[in-house]
Structure 1
Amino acid sequence: MRKTAAALTALCLAATPLAAQSDAFHAGPVFTEFGQIADVTTTMPIPGDASFAVAFDTSTRADAGEINRTLNSAARFINMHVAAGVPRENIRVAVVVHGQASLDLTRPAFYAARQDGADNANAPAIAALLANNVQIILCGQTAAYYEIGVADLLPGVDMALSAMTAHALLQQDGFTVNPF
């Protein structure tokens, strides 16, 4: 019985978003509506002259009414590093999207037509990310597969020839790929 209760507790925690598990998470200095962060005592200091150029990659679509987890992670990356003292201008972030996540980048009418009339909760997050110089890039091969045209994308979202092309170009520009 005790093992069953422990297993059930572990399962519930695993299914609960991290921010809901602890009061330690709070709004960050750049994005206040998403990308929550926790204050952490570290033993690995960030150099004062640190700069980051990080590309995130996702093919996992958000549930209707939810923000795509990778978009949230990009905001969290910026929030936690600015909070840790890295100047915002020293942080470059891009999000490369392909596969089913492509729908998360579409205009309200296009999204609603494919999500039983639901609002695209990603639209405000994408607008906020773009306003903070985050590049949002859709794989053109995925767009062709899902019949998404440039006109179907939220304003400011770029269309690349492919996700592979986008990553290759970003790497040539000094970006590393974040594995999370």
Structure 2
Amino acid sequence: MNFHHLPLFLLIIVAFSGISQETKSGPIVENYGAVWEIENPDFKTETTQEFKVVFDVKDGPESDTEINRNLNTVARFLNMHAQSGVPTSQLKAALIVHGTAARNLLTDEAFRDRYKVDNPNRELVADLLEAGVEVIICGQSSKTRNLPKEDLIPGIKVALSAMTANIQLQNQGYRPINL
């Protein structure tokens, strides 16, 4: 090590000593949705309000073996707010899936029949359902892409359309986040 740079190295260590250097999953979705801890943010999280959000996901990954980062964002939303002190009872999330992301809702068997590998998103989607996320597939995408309900991960609801589900959830006070 070049000792001429030691003061700079020590300054960097001191500067970053109060910042978490690792992301952390949980407590709601244990294996997905890792987030950074933000210590003492200037814009404080209001932990007494209800967070009702509907995520609209239309894009899936190009690879058949890749997790859809947009689906993982739902886990991140739940985990980051729970880690920041928002009670689980105040977190209401719905996920509407359509377009190329619709195939990410297939069972392993149905995914394997089509793409020759297990669905890399199956466990994540199952964990979201278990966490109380309402997962809704666009009925129009389901028909267009030949994804019948019996090929979907159990617990997924089929709507008339993504547009219909978005309007209904927004009328119930859910705030839209388009991914």
TM-score range, shorter chain: 0.7 to 0.9
Q: Look up the match of 2:10.
A: none
For 1:101 and 1:159, how far apart are their aligned partners in 2? 14
Q: Whose radius of gyration is greater, 1 or 2?
A: 2
CA contact (8 A) 2:55 2:178 kept: yes
Alignment of 1:6-45 (within 5 A): 23-41=21-39, 42-45=41-44
Deviation of 1:126 (Å): 1.0
What residue number does 2:3 align with?
none
TM-score, normalised relative to structure 1: 0.83
User: Residue 160 of structure 1 aligns with which residue?
Assistant: 159
Aligned length: 158
Instruction: Please tell me whether the aligned partners of residues 57 and 70 of structure 1 are also in contact (alpha carbons under 8 angstroms).
Output: no
Equivalent-residue separation in structure 1 for 2:87 and 2:106 (angstroms): 31
Amino acid at match of 1:148: L
Deviations 1:109-152 (A, max 9, x none): 2211221x111011111111111100111000011101111111
Share of identical aligned residues, percent?
A: 35
8 A Cα contact 2:47 2:87, kept in partner:
no
Segments of structure 1 that go 5 or more residues without pairing to the other structure are: 1-21
Structure 1 residues 108 and 44, CA, compared in 2 at 3 Å: closer, same or farther? same
Cα-to-partner distance string for 1:34-54 (whole Å, 9 max, x where unaligned): 100100131111223121110
Segments of structure 2 that go 5 or more residues without pairing to the other structure are 1-19
* Structure 2: distance between partners of 1:102 and 1:48: 33
Cα RMSD (Å) = 1.4
Q: Does 1:112 align with 2:105?
A: no
**Conservation of the 8 A alpha-carbon contact between 2:57 and 2:178:** no
